[in-house]
Amino acid sequence: MVELPPPPPGPARAALRLRQALVRALDAPLPAHAAVWASTLGFMRLHALATICELGVADALGGRRRATAAELAVELDLDAGHLHRILRALATEGWVRLDRRGRFSLTRKGRALRTGEMDGWVRYLALESTRRAWAAMPEAVRSGEPAFPLVHGRSTWDHFARHPQEEQLFARTMRALTHLDLPGIVRAWDWPGRGTVCDVAGGTGTVLAGVLRARPDARGVLVEAPGVLPEARRHLEAAGVAERVELREGSIFDGIDARADVYLLKDVLHDWDDARCARILDVVAAAMPRGASLVLVEQLQEPHVPEPVVSWVDVHMLAVCDGGRQRSLAELHELLRGAGLEPGRTAPTAAATLVEGVRR
């Protein structure tokens, strides 16, 4: 995966706000029904993107300068006519270029669809289980229940435990998303030079690997669900830090057997309602020695401020998680205090904020 320099937090957020303002400005002269049409294209666009990711078209195009749909179809055993139409539609939005001889090439943003980049996110969103949860949004809003369990009868995590391919796709997706903000997370905090960092529900260990590479004398513990640990081992080995990390199969609801100087919960609380967040924090606080820190990494959402990315992540949590939501700093502090942790420092990255709770 390409190492990206971290965008500085202020300008990155300002750029996103500017983009949203421009989209609103471009919509202003449109007849309202045309603005609706343009927005609903999102559904079609997602599935067109997911198709070229899943079928290896983005990778095949990425490996050469340009190719016709017929050439790609021979290489990938696809239908050339269908493929041409999908790629032509994507060319209208600058994912690929189409020249007069019918040859396609990937654009700068199209290159982010190759394997290991944003392809996982696109494919995860297009999964039938994700789409069905989103399609249940009217019922969720009517009932006040989270959408995913309404249609699937169980939480996302229980669903993943029964669908290992989806679980692994999601773990790879989180790794790619976390990777984008990793340099900022590593730089934003004073990680211990010689101590232990315990990443709780840390996915494939993306943050842990980043922190341990920056702290060659520190050690790590990764607590995760069993289905994620093999991929985590591969990732930590590839990052060259596996011999300094203990992998622990464990549940955030049952107790964590790890003594560390810093505990980490990144994008975990946003998966759960307040009651289950309180349980998770109690479990982590019970493992923490006096003086240890818990660092939450969350994208903050104030109640009355529309945020270009976070307000949509928040609705995605509504769709796919059991009561999950984005929270404000005050709400996170209240949850920390509820577990007996004293709110400490905060530090922003390009995408998120690190929020400390200290065990006194």
Ligand X SMILES: C[S@@+](CC[C@H](N)C(=O)[O-])C[C@H]1O[C@@H](n2cnc3c(N)ncnc32)[C@H](O)[C@@H]1O
Contact positions toward ligand X, by CB under 6 A?
Answer: 157, 171, 174, 178, 201-203, 206, 224-225, 228, 251-253, 266-268, 271
Minimum CB separation of residue 171 from ligand X in Å reads 6
Q: Pick the closer one to ligand X by CB: 72 or 232.
A: 232
Spot the catalytic one: 163, 270, 316, 333: 270
The CA distances from residue 268 to 63, 203, 295, in Å, are: 36, 10, 11
Strand 219-224 with 245-249, pairing: parallel
As measured in angstroms, the least distance from the Cβ of 250 to ligand X is 6
Angle at the Cα of 151 from the Cα atoms of 204 and 141, rounded to 5 degrees: 100
* Residue 141 to residue 151: CA distance in whole angstroms: 14
For residues 106 and 268, which CB has a smaller minimum distance to ligand X in the complex?
268
Least spacing, CB of residue 139 vs ligand X, in Å: 24
Q: Which is nearer to ligand X, 56 or 227 (CB)?
A: 227
Using the minimum distance from each CB to ligand X, give the nearer residue, 106 or 208: 208
Residue 263 bridge partners (DSSP): 198, 294
Nearer to ligand X, 167 or 261 (CB): 167
Residue with tokens 């081992």: 233
Instruction: Output 86 or 283, the one with its CB closest to ligand X.
Output: 283
The alpha-helical segments, DSSP class H, found in the chain are 9-27, 32-54, 57-62, 69-76, 80-91, 119-126, 128-135, 137-143, 147-152, 156-162, 164-188, 206-214, 229-238, 274-287, 310-320, 329-338
CA distance 58 to 252: 37
Q: How far apart are CA 224 and CA 206, in angstroms?
A: 12
What's the CA gap between 209 and 235, in Å, rounded?
8
CB of 188 to ligand X, least distance (A): 15
What CA dihedral angle connects 224, 173, 351 and 108, to 10 degrees? 160
Give 144-196 as a DSSP string: -S-HHHHHHSS-HHHHHHH-HHHHHHHHHHHHHHHHHHHHHHHHHS---SSSE
Backbone φ, ψ for residue 201 (5° rounding):
55, 50
Nearer Cβ to ligand X (37/253): 253
CB of 224 to ligand X, least distance (A): 5
**Is 270 labeled as catalytic in the residue annotation?**
yes
CA 355 – CA 12 distance, rounded (Å): 20
Q: CA 135, 139, 145, 151 torsion: positive or negative?
A: negative
Q: Which residues pair with 248 in a beta bridge?
A: 223
Please say whether the beta carbons of 201 and 268 come within 8 A: yes
Q: List active site positions.
A: 270
